[in-house]
Every structure is written in structure tokens, then in C-alpha cells.
Amino acid sequence: MTQTPTTRASPDRAKLLVETRKVVPADIPQVAAVMARAFDDDPFANWFAAQDKRRAARIYTFMELALTKLTLRYREVYTTRAFEGAAFWNPPGTWKMNLFQQLLLTPSFARVATWRRVPKVIQGLDAVEKKHPHKPHFYLLALGVEPTLQGRSVGTQLIAPVLERCDREGIPAYLESSKERNVPMYERNGFKVTEEMVVPNGGPKLWLMWRDPK
């Protein structure tokens, strides 16, 4: 998967200070909604979601799936007091899906991709997963910021709690970005591009990025 909804910081846009906090189950609708808006133009989300008249609803489902099925249970998902954005993290050892988990998620995948496209989507996800490092790390599955607030350091503040923990505990971090313009923002936060790949079956180009603890 990927996370690339923030834009490059703009020198003429003032930094917006936000209050970050962990997401709780009651926040799911608001968090999924802001992430759907943030990912509306994301190449990976739009490859995964069928491009039909229900595209926007499918991207909302895509983000709700990432939140409720893949990340929230691990208690490392962050938002802000006013839901300006969110960061979905997987702690070490929790990112990989086995075959049984994939089978359980197949109906949810179909709600986003349609049943016809599910096999190709799963093949693409498997190709991305094969590139995933196996050394213990925190995985930034998704980072999104309200489109009107992008470029004001909200994304940096959203990922700060886990990056601070990574530095404190000596744990690396990893992400995939499907927007090249977001790479500099991640680099400013200590990530480095380790590889570029194209997702099979018509998927986008991804920048694979790794961060050693400071």
C-alpha cells in the first residue's frame, strides 16, 4: 500500500500548529473522511479503487478498510483535535498479511476494486509486499492531510510521535510513496529512497523509503 497525500511544503504558507492525539474507535467516520479527501488524487488509491461513478465512495471504503482492518487495533494511529489529517502506523511485526488474512479481507477489497479486479489488485499488493523490508520497523501505511491544509507541516506533526519513539527506542521506519513531489518532505523527516518500483497490473510508480533511527 502507500501513503502520499501531503504536498511539498510551500515557503509562502505559514506552518499550522496542530494538537496530535491517538485515534479511538469513535473517530473512525471523521478520520476515514479526511483521509478519503486527502487521497482523492493519490495514484495508488485510484489504481486500487474502481474508476466508476462510485469512485469517491470506494476511496472512502479504502481508507476505512486501512484503518479498521489493518492499523487501528495496534494503537499507533494519530489524528488531530480538529481532524486536519491522520497517520496510520503498523508497529514492528504487524504489517504482513498471511493468506488467511487476505482471504478474510477479499470481500472488503471487492467493495473498493470490484470482484473482477480483485485478483489483479492482490497480485499488485503481493509485489509491493515482496519489496517490504523484514528487519523490525514501524511502517507508515498512510499519511493524509486535509487538501486545503497541505504544505503547512501538518503531515510532519502527525508522524512526529512515532518518529520520536523510533529515535528513542532505536527502531527504523519504512514507507512507500506514490507521489514523487512528497519525497522531499519525507527526506526532511529522515527517510531515504532505497528503491523505485512500478506496481504490476497498471499500478503506479512507488518510491520505497527507509529511515534509520537518529
User: Residue 128 is part of which domain span?
Assistant: 21-211
The residue-averaged pLDDT of 160-170 equals 98
The band of 102, judged by pLDDT with boundaries at 50, 70 and 90, is confident
Q: Is the pLDDT of residue 170 over 70?
A: yes
Residue 113 lies inside a defined structural domain of this protein: yes
C-alpha cell at 17: 500548529
Mean pLDDT to the nearest integer, 46-53: 98
Does 4 fall in a domain? no
In a domain, 49, yes or no: yes
d(CA 53, CA 119): 21
Element (H, E) at 79: strand 77-80
- Count the domains in the chain: 1
Strands 173-177 and 138-145: parallel
- Banded pLDDT at 1 (limits 50, 70, 90): low
- Residue 50 sits in a domain whose CATH number is 3.40.630.30
Residue 200 lies in a domain: yes
The better pLDDT of the pair 12, 80 is held by 80
Classify residue 13: in a domain, yes or no: no
- Residue 3 in any domain: the answer is no
Q: ∠54-175-50 over CA atoms, to 5°?
A: 15
**45 vs 58: CA distance, rounded Å:** 9
Directed axis angle between helix 99-113 and helix 118-130, to 10°?
Answer: 130
